[in-house]
Amino acid sequence: MITTQNINQVRAQILAWRVKGESIAFVPTMGNLHLGHMTLINEAMKHADHVVSSIFVNPMQFGATEDLSAYPRTLEADKLALSQAGVELLFTPTSETIYPKGMQQQSYVEVPEIGDQLCGASRPGHFRGVATIVCKLFNIVTPDIALFGRKDFQQLMIIKAMVDDLSMPIEIMGIETIREASGLAMSSRNGYLTSEQKNQAAQLKTTIDKLCLAIKKGQSAPLAIKNAQQALITAGFTPDYIELRSTKDLSQVTDNHSELVILAAAYIGDTRLIDNLCFIR
Ligand code: PAF
Residue by residue, DSSP assigns 78-114 as HHHHHHHHT--EEE---HHHH-TT-GGGS-----TTT
211, amino acid identity: L
Interval 252-266 mean pLDDT: 95
Amino acid 178: pLDDT: 98
Query: Tell me: the pLDDT tens digits for 38-97?
Result: 999 999 999 999 999 999 999 999 999 998 999 999 999 999 999 999 999 999 999 999
Q: Where in the chain is the domain with CATH 3.30.1300.10?
A: 188-280
**In this predicted structure, what is the pLDDT of residue 209?**
98
Ligand 1 atom at minimal distance to the Cα of residue 57: 10
- Regarding the domain with residue range 188-280, which homologous superfamily does it belong to in the CATH classification? Pantoate-beta-alanine ligase, C-terminal domain (3.30.1300.10)
Please state, in angstroms and rounded to a whole number, the distance separating the CA atoms of residues 31 and 164: 27
> Ligand 1 atom 5: the closest Cα is on which residue?
130
Give the Å distance between the CA of 130 and the centre of ligand 1.
Answer: 6
pLDDT value at 246 more than 90: yes
**Residues 161-176, mean pLDDT to the nearest whole number:** 98
pLDDT tens per residue across span 186-233: 999 999 999 999 999 999 999 999 999 999 999 999 999 999 999 999
Could you give the CA distance from residue 269 to residue 201 in angstroms, rounded to a whole number? Answer: 11
The answer to whether residue 26 scores a pLDDT higher than 90 is: yes
Residues of the chain with CATH 3.40.50.620: 2-175
For 247-251, what is the mean pLDDT?
Answer: 95
The Å distance, Cα 3 to ligand 1 centre, comes to: 19
Q: Which residues sit opposite 26 in a β-bridge? A: 52, 146
What is the end-to-end Cα distance of the chain in Å, rounded?
A: 46
CB contact set of 234 (below 8 Å; sequence gap of 6+): none
Give the chain's mean pLDDT: 97
Distance 129 CA to ligand 1 centre (A): 9
Neighbours of 85 (CB within 10 A): 19
For residues 101-126, average pLDDT? 96
Read off the pLDDT of each residue in 235-247 and give the average, rounded to a whole number. 98
Residue 242 buriedness (CB in 10 A; 0-12 / 13-18 / 19+): buried
- Which of 134, 170, 274 most suits a substitution to test ligand 1, by most atoms within 8 Å of the C-beta? 134
Binding-site residues, ligand 1, Cβ < 6 A: 28-30, 58, 61, 130, 133-134, 152, 155
> Residue 230 is which amino acid?
Q
Q: What is the DSSP letter of 44?
A: H
From the alpha carbon of 29, which atom of ligand 1 is closest? 8
Residue 212: closest CA among 224, 226, 230? 224
Which is nearest to 27 in space by CA: 56, 58, 57, 53? Answer: 53
CATH class of 2-175: alpha beta
Clarify whether 47 is annotated catalytic: no
pTM above 0.85, yes or no: yes
Task: Report the interhelical angle of 153-165 vs 126-141 (nearest 10°).
Answer: 60
**Predicted pLDDT at 67:** 84
Mean pLDDT, residues 231-254 taken together: 97
Question: What's the rounded mean pLDDT across residues 93-118?
Answer: 97
Could you give the CA distance from residue 147 to residue 104 in angstroms, rounded to a whole number?
Answer: 29
* For ligand 1, atom 8: residue with the closest CA: 29
Ligand 1 centroid to Cα of residue 199, in Å, is 26
Name residue 127's amino acid: F
